[in-house]
Structure 1
Amino acid sequence: MEKKSNYLRSPDLLPIASSERNIGPFGFAVIWVGMAIVLAAFAIGGGAIIHLPLGLVILATLLGSVAIGVLMTIIGDIGVEHGLSFPVYMRAPFGTIGTHIPSIVRGITAACWFGINTYFGSTAINAILNLLFGFDNWFICFLLFAAFQLINTSLGIKSIERFADLAAPIIILISCWMYIALSDKAVEQGKNIWTWVESPVTGGAAFTAFMVVVMSNMGFWATLAADMPTLSRYFRAPKKERNWFKRNKTQLLGSIIIMPIVNTFMIIIGAVSYMAVANSDPVVALQETASGITLGVLMLMIVLAQWSTNTSANVIPAATIFSNVGGPKMPFWVGVVLAGIIGMLAQPWSLFTVLNSALLVIGGILTSIVGILFADYYLLRKRRVNVQDLYEKDGQFRYLKGFNLAGFISWIVGGVIANMLSSYSSIVGFVVGAGLYYILAKYWWFKKYPQAEMVDPDDSQYLGITAGRDWAVEGADIEAEVITDAAAERV
C-alpha cells in the first residue's frame, strides 16, 4: 500500500513529551533577560518622554508589561498542558488550512523584528570593527550577523538557553553602565531626569499619551503573547498537577516579574538617551557618550542583546510557523532560513522610524488573536483538546474546507475596531476578539461542526499533562518514513 504524506504531521510540529522539556523557571527567566533587552524598546521610551515625565513613563510601561505578561502566561498553558506549538493549536479556532493566514501574519511580523534587531546589532558590530581596524561597511556586518544568528537558532532550543546563560549577566552589567553614562550627560545639560519633558501635556491629552505608552508596550510583545505556546511547550511542568499556578510556575517568574522589570529598564534608557542626545537610537547615543575600549564594550552589549532576543522571540516562532505552512518536507532549519530572508528583504533600516505607530496597529491585530485563543481554549474547550484530530486532514478541525469562519470573522472585526480605537488597541483587540469568537463559535459554528471535547468533556481523553499524558500522534512514525523516503528519492 502506497504511503501518503500528511502535511499536518511535520516532525517539528508534533507535541513535545514531558521528558523532552528542559527549561525550568530559572532558565526561562534568563532567556527573558536576553529577550527583553532589545534596542527597539528604546524608541518607546524616547517617544514617551516627549509628552510625559519619566515617572509616568515607568508606570505606563509597568502596567503594559505586566498586562501582556499575564496574557502570555495564560496562552502559554496551551504549550505546557499539551506540548503544542502556536500554529498547531491555531487549527482549532481557524481550521487546518485557515491557520496559515494568521500564522503567516505572525511569522512575517517576527521575521521583520528579526531584521530590525539584526540591523541594530550590525551597526554596533560595524562600530566595533571601525574602532579596532578602521573597517566601515554596516551592510556586510548585517549579512554576517544575520547568518550567525540563524545558525545558532538552527542548533535547537537548548543551544539558545545556553547562549542566554552567557549573554544575560554581561548585558545587565553594561545596561547599568549605559544608564549611568546617559543620565550624567543629561544632568550636565541641566535636565532633571525625573521632571524634564520636551512638550508636556495635561488633562485628556496626558491620559491619551499615557495609554499610548501602555498600548505600545503591549503591542511590542503581542507577537510573543500569541505565540507563547511555541516556546512554553519546552517548559518543565509536573504531571497530574491540576493547580494552574503550580503547573505554570516556569512561566510566572519570567513573564510577569522578570520581563516587566527588564523591559521597563530598557524604556528608561531610551527616555534618558533622548534627554541626553535628542535621539533614542542607542548606537548614536553611545557614540556621543563613550569612546575607545569603553565604546567597544558597550557596542558588544548591543550585539549580544539583539542576538539573544532574536533567537528566542523572533526566529524560533517564525521558523515554526513557516515549517507548519510548508508541511513535512520543510524542516525547521528551512523555516529558520526563510525567516532570515524575509527579515532582510523587509529593509529593517527603514522600519525603525515608524515603529511606535506600527506597534499600535500590530497590538490590535495580534491581541485579537490572543483573545480568540483565550476564548477557544479556556471558555469553550475548558483546556481539553482533541489533539489527535489537530493532525488529521479530515478530522473535526477541517470545518468548512479547512476554515473556521467564526475565528476569521472575530479576528477581522476585532482588528478593525482595535485600530479605530488605536490608543486602546491591545485591550480592545483582546476583548472584542474573545467576546465575538465565544458567541459565534458556541451559538453558531460549533452547532454546525461539533467538537468532541465539548460534546464529551472527558479529562482522561482530552487533557494532557494534567492527566499525566504525553500526546503521541497516531501515524507520526509513518509520516517520518514518508519524509525519509522522499529525501532518499531526491538523492
Structure 2
Amino acid sequence: MSTSPPVSARLHNADLAPATTRDWNGYSVFALWMSVLHNVGAYTFAIGFFFRGLGIWTVLAAMAVALVIVYVLMNLSGAIGQRTGVPYPVVARLSFGVFGANLPALIRGVLAVFWYGVQTYLGSVAVSALALRLAPGLESWNAHKLLGLSGLGWCCFLALWVLQLLVVRHGMEAVRRYQNWAGPAVYLVMFVLLAWVLIRTDGAPGVEVSPDRVHGGSVVLQFASIVGLIVAFFGTFLLNISDFTRSSPSPRSMRRANLWGLPVNFLVFAVTVAIVTTGSAKLFGQAVTDPIELVQRIDNTPVLIFATIIFTIATIGVNVAANVVSPAFDFSNIAPKYITFERGGMLAAIGSILVCPWALYSSPVVVDYFIGGLGALLGPLFGVIVTDFYLVRRGRVDVAALYVEGGGPYWYRRGVNPRAMLAAAAGAVIAIPVALVPQWHAAAPFSWTLGAVVAAVVYLAVRRGVVDSVDSGQEPAHV
C-alpha cells in the first residue's frame, strides 16, 4: 500500500475528515426520511399526483415503482459515504478532483441556500397566520413593508431562521437528535386530520381525488411522469446522502432504514394524504390541498395551535436536513482552514436572507429558470460520481489521498478532472433545455434522469481503461 503525503490544510478540517463515530443508526436515518417527507411541501407534492387523471391505485403503483428506483439509487449513493466515512463534497473529489469537487459542491450548496430561504418563508407564513388568528390586532404590523416583507412577516421569518440556526450551530449530533423526534411528530397532525375527516364524513371520505380520467397513451405518460418527478424530487439527497450515511454503523443498517423510510413511509403518508384530501372535497365541495389551510378550517383553537407548531417543527426539520447540512459541508469544502461546518451553516443562513425568498417564491420566472436550471444539474453530477465509483474504480478508494494536493490519484490536472467536467457538461446540455424549454414541458419530469444517464455514458466513454495506478493496489470496498 502506498504512503500518502501529509494532508493539506486547503482540503482538510475536522468536519470534512472521515467520521470517527457511527451514531446515525437505523432509526436516525429512518427519522431523517420522515422529516424530509412529513412537511407542507411534500404534502402538496404528493397530493398533486392524484389530480393527474389516474385512479388512486394507478397513482400508488407509479409511486411504488419510483420509490423502488429511489431506494436502489439511494443505497448506491449512501454506501459511498458509509464505506469511506466522508461527506458529499469529499466524495465528489473522487471523480472531479480534490479542487474540481468545489464545482459540484457549490451547485448543490447554492441550490440549498435558495430553498433554505423559500422553506423558511413558507413556514413563517403559517406562523403569521396563526399569530393573526390569536391576536387580530397584529394586522397593523402588515401595514408597512421592508424589502417586500411586512413587519409581522419579518418577525416570523427571523424567528424560524434563528431556531434553525440554533440546531445547526451545535453540529451534526444536534441535527441527528432533532430529526429523531421532529420527523415522526407530523404523523400526530396527520392522524388528527385523518380522524377529523373520518368522523365528519361518517367513515366514508371516498378514495378517488381527481374528478377526470385520462385514457390510452396519456395513462402511460402520466404514470411515467410521476415516476420521473419522484426520482427528481429526491435528486438533492441522492447527491449528499453521504453527509448522513458516513456515520451509519453498517450497510445493512442504512439499507433497512432506507427501506422503511422511503418506499414504506412515503406510501403510507401518500395514502393518508389522499384520504384526507378526498374527505375535504366531500366536506367543502372542493379539495383542500394545503394542510395548513385545512387545519385552519377546524373550529378548534387548541388543535390549530398544536398543528401549526408541529408543521413548523417539520419545516425546520426538512430545512435543516435538506438545505442547511449540505451547504454547511459544501462551503466548508471551499476553504476548510477558515470555514467549519458551523460557519458554513451560518453562511447558508445569511445567504437565505440575502436572496429575499419571498420575492423569489412569487416570481415563477426565477423559480423555473434559475432554481429549476440549477436543479437540472444535479442528475449529471450524480451520474458521474456513481459511475466513477462503481464502474470505473469498482469501489476502490484511497481515502487518505482525498486530502492531498500536488499528487495522488485524485490530483488529475492541478486538482481537476477534465473528463468528469466534460461528462457533467454533456449531461447538463441535455438536462437543462429539457427542464426549461416550454415546448418540451411534457419531458421535463425526466430531465434529472436524462442528465444522469447521458453524463454516466459520456464518463464511461472518456474514462474507458483509465484507472489510477494507486487504485490497482487497493482492495475493493464491497458495497
The one-letter amino acid paired with 1:327 is P
Q: Contact 1:178/1:298 (CA < 8 Å) preserved in 2?
A: no
What is residue 7 of structure 1 aligned with on the other side?
10
Aligned ranges 1:61-210 → 2 under 5 Å: 61-134=63-136, 135=138, 137-181=152-196, 193-210=206-223
Q: Could you tell me the TM-score, scaled by structure 2's length? A: 0.83
Determine the structure 1 residue equivalent to 2:469: 452
Indicate the RMSD between aligned Cα atoms, in angstroms.
3.1
Give the gaps of 5 or more residues in structure 2: 1-5, 140-151, 435-442
Is the contact made by 1:364 and 1:422 (CA closer than 8 Å) also made in structure 2?
no
CA contact (8 A) 1:56 1:210 kept: yes
Query: For the Cα contact (< 8 Å) 2:8–2:404, is it kept in 1?
Result: no
Query: Is the contact made by 1:85 and 1:230 (CA closer than 8 Å) also made in structure 2?
Result: yes
CA distance in 1 between counterparts of 2:421 and 2:288 reads 40
CA displacement at 1:279 relative to structure 2: 4.9
The CA deviation at 1:32 is 2.2
Give the distance between the partners of 1:4 and 1:250, measured in 2 at CA: 31
Q: In structure 2, what is the equivalent of residue 250 of structure 1? A: 253
Does structure 1 residue 218 correspond to structure 2 residue 231? yes
Q: Spell out, residue by residue over 1:244-280, the C-alpha distance to the aligned partner (whole angstroms, 9 max, x if none).
A: xxxx112112223222333334445665548635553
What's the CA shift for 1:305?
1.0
* Percent identity for Structure 1 against Structure 2: 25
In the alignment, structure 1 residue 313 sits paired with structure 2 residue 335: no
CA deviation profile, 1:114-145 (whole Å, cap 9, x unmatched): 22332232222223333444445233111111
Provide closer, same or farther for how the CA distance between residues 290 and 346 of structure 1 changes in structure 2, counting only shifts above 3 A: farther
Spell out, residue by residue over 1:120-178, the C-alpha distance to the aligned partner (whole angstroms, 9 max, x if none).
32222223333444445233111111111111112122222222233344321211222
Shift in Å, 1:211: 1.9
Residues 39 and 266, structure 1, Cα contact 8 Å, conserved in 2: no
Aligned position for 1:384: 396
How many angstroms apart in 1 are the aligned matches of 2:425 and 2:464? 18
Residue 205 of structure 1 and its aligned partner are, at CA, apart by 2.1
Q: Post-superposition shift, 1:206?
A: 2.4
Change (3 A) 1:107 1:262: same
Gaps of 5+ in 1: 238-247, 468-491
- Equivalent in the alignment of 1:484: none
Q: Which residue of 1 aligns with 2:148?
A: none
In structure 2, the CA distance between the partners of 1:289 and 1:53, relative to structure 1 (3 Å rule), is farther
- The one-letter code sitting in structure 1 at the alignment partner of 2:221 is T
Question: 1:228 aligns to what?
Answer: 241
Q: Identify the match of residue 436 of structure 1 among 454, 458, 465.
A: 458
Please point out which of 368, 376, 381 is paired with 2:380.
Answer: 368
Counterparts in 2 of 1:143 and 1:264: CA distance versus 1, 3 Å: farther
Corresponding residue of 2:267: 264
CA spacing shift, 1:74–1:410, aligned 2, 3 Å: same
1:424 paired with 2:446, answer: yes
Judging changes above 3 Å, is the alpha-carbon distance between structure 1 residues 100 and 340 closer, same or farther for their aligned structure 2 residues? Answer: same
- Equivalent residues in 2 for 1:406-417 (5 A)? 406-417=419-430
- Distance between the aligned counterparts of 1:265 and 1:114, measured in 2? 26
2-structure distance, mates of 1:298, 1:227: 30
Name the amino acid aligned to 1:397: Y
> Alpha-carbon deviation of 1:330?
0.9
Name the CA distance, whole Å, in 2 between partners of 1:183 and 1:119.
Answer: 32
Kindly tell me: are residues 199 and 360 of structure 1, through their superposed partners in 2, closer, same or farther at Cα, counting changes over 3 Å?
Answer: farther
8 Å CA contact 1:40–1:352 kept in 2: the answer is no
Matches within 5 A, 1:328-343: 328-343=337-352
The count of residues paired between Structure 1 and Structure 2 equals: 441
Q: Distance in 1 between matches of 2:91 and 2:218?
A: 41
